Amino acid sequence: MKVVIIGGGAAGTVAAFELRKLNKDISITILEKGKHTEYSHCSLPYVIEGTVEKLSDIVLFHEDDYVKEDVDLKLDTEAVEVDDKLKTITYKNIGSGKKGKISYDVLVLAHGAHPFIPPIKDIEKSQYMTFTTYDDVEYLQKNIRSFDNAIIIGGGFIGVELGWGLIEQKKKVTIIERQPHILPGMFDQDMCSIVQKILEDKGMKVKTDVSIDDIQDLKLTSRDKLIVSTGIHVKDHFAKSLGLKFNRGIVVNDKMQSKKDIYCIGDCIEISKQDPKTKKSESITSWLGTSAVRQAQIAANNILNSSNPKKQLRFWTNNTAISRIGETVFGATGMTTEAAARKGIKTASARLKAYTRSEHCLDKKDIIIKLIADMKGYVLGAQIIGHEEVAGRLDLVSMAIQYKMKLSDLCSIDYCYNPSVAPIFEPLSVVADICQRKIGVLNARKK
């Protein structure tokens, strides 16, 4: 079997190594347009902050790693045409311009996405930059002394993390977000306002509910640097020629398959699933590194078990995500109350400020947890802000959502206790109990 993977980022590389782990005999080739082997995109802002010593430290695999795994990696190589009937790919070396052709039995599309540039008049005149790649960080590091003020359009995770990093580099930073609050889609207004205050206390300006129509509105000077961090969009590079359904990305099923012998993974996809209860189709996008890795593992398994449905795996995500600015860690999983309202789902939520250790411990840390459930008590989402033990609690709630657990289940878990490590009353259990009681009161009023 010959497997060709277009794209050598997290999804493409993990798919290749997973295939090799499962099968020592198949042929595996990666065509990667860039000049770099796989690196940690999520670490880019922390290179600017200075908590990662060198940019080269974020490289996860080197060329000899691919050689050891018998994976043919072609860097600086662009796939220019795919012929699905002949099952061939024409590619071009970007540096030399030399073309070649390779055949495949199974094709994996993992070519990622591009930064979304908002339709702002004359934005190209501003010499703006994006912040999504190794080269972007390299450029910013080399030109860090050429500006005093950074204006970041986009208040998502990357914009916030980069803004903090630039503050640490003694730059003045302004974040401009089009939505009513920063971290849209991940946090509700009440929780993201806590993060915003931390940013503002650090000296950052945060402007929300602001739409820029003309670049002149920003009144940029020669000592300003405009950075666009407004998410990504997918171009249908091969979708039309291959006859693949395309919406916000290439549409795949939860087995990562778009058609026979073609699998798609990573940022370039949109997953179409059927809700087991309503039987309605729903679309999911997940542009997280964790999702890319799991999609790659699932695709690799399913490629090798295409004739054995019982061994095939399916993808699931709650879009569980976490971030850090300074000493503050914040993350979310599942639905926000805002997202649930847009879907017409009635919810109840509870918010609790507690300690991660017993109150008498000097090194105790604050933690704020917001838990969201439907009116039957099923857990839908959580948002957590703290200084420690945020990730584990988020993962626990993510599991609760995945396995359709109720608030009562979170209350009845046998949690561990030691005053110097964990409080006697686990904050997650307490907030679940508060939310459960709230639902009881609300439901009783209806009767």
pLDDT in tens, 120-146: 999 999 999 999 999 999 999 999 999
Interval 263-272 mean pLDDT: 95
Q: How many Cβ atoms from other residues are within 10 Å of residue 342's Cβ?
A: 10
Rounded average pLDDT over 254-275: 91
Residue 291 above 70 pLDDT?
Answer: yes
Q: Which of 42, 192, 264, 268 is catalytic?
A: 42
What is the SS3 assignment for 27-92?
A: EEEEECCCCCCCECHHHHHHHHHCCCCCHHHHECCCHHHHHHCCCEEECCEEEEEEECCCCEEEEE
Q: In this model, does residue 277 exceed pLDDT 60?
A: no
CA-angle at 111, arms to 288 and 70, nearest 5°: 100
pLDDT at 281: 74
- Give me the pLDDT at residue 283, please: 84
308 pLDDT more than 90? no
Task: Give the confidence band of 278 by pLDDT, cuts at 50, 70, 90.
Answer: low
- Region of 405 (left: φ > 0; alpha: ψ -120 to 50; beta: rest) is beta
Instruction: Using pLDDT thresholds of 50, 70 and 90, give the confidence band for residue 361.
Output: very high
* Structural domains of the chain in order of their starting residue, each with its CATH number: 2-113+234-311 (3.50.50.60), 115-232 (3.50.50.60), 323-446 (3.50.50.60)
Identify which of 380, 373, 371 has the alpha carbon closest to the alpha carbon of residue 440.
373
Q: What burial letters (b/e) apply to 315-325, b meaning 16+ CB within 10 Å?
A: bebbbbbbbbb
pLDDT at 276: 56
Residue 447 has pLDDT above 80, yes or no: no
- Across the range 334-342, mean pLDDT stands at 95
- Integer Cα distance of 72 and 111 in angstroms: 17
Q: How far apart are CA 412 and CA 435, in angstroms?
A: 14
Closest CA to 283 of 269, 298, 272: 272
According to DSSP, the β-strands at 72-74 and 27-31 are: parallel
The predicted structure's pLDDT at residue 316: 87
| The predicted structure's pLDDT at residue 279 | 62
pLDDT tens figures, 292-307: 999 999 999 999 998 8
User: Pick from 181, 171, 175: which is nearest to 151 by CA?
Assistant: 175
Please give the pLDDT value at position 2.
Answer: 98
pTM of the predicted structure, to 2 decimals: 0.94
Per-residue pLDDT, 275: 63
Residues of the chain with pLDDT > 90, as a percent, come to 92
Q: Which of 373, 354, 353, 355 is nearest to 438 (CA)?
A: 373
Concerning whether 42 is annotated as a catalytic residue, the answer is yes
pLDDT at 343 > cutoff 70 = yes
pLDDT reading at 225 higher than 90: yes
Q: Is the pLDDT of residue 280 over 80?
A: no
Mean pLDDT for the chain? 95
Angle (CA) 234-107-39 rounded to 5° is 60
- pLDDT of res. 417: 96
Asked if pLDDT for residue 282 goes beyond 90, the answer is no
Mind listing the pLDDT tens digit for each residue in 25-82?
A: 999 999 999 999 999 999 999 999 999 999 999 999 999 999 999 999 999 999 999 9
The mean pLDDT value for 226-248 works out to 92
Higher pLDDT, 277 or 116: 116
pLDDT score, position 211: 94
Q: Give me the percent of the chain exceeding a pLDDT of 70.
A: 98
Helix (H, G, I), strand (E, B) or coil at 109: strand
**Mean pLDDT, range 157-163, rounded to an integer:** 98
pLDDT tens-digit map of 171-212:
999 999 999 999 999 999 999 999 999 999 999 999 999 999
Q: What is the largest CA-CA distance in the chain?
A: 75
Centroid of chain to Cα 34: 21
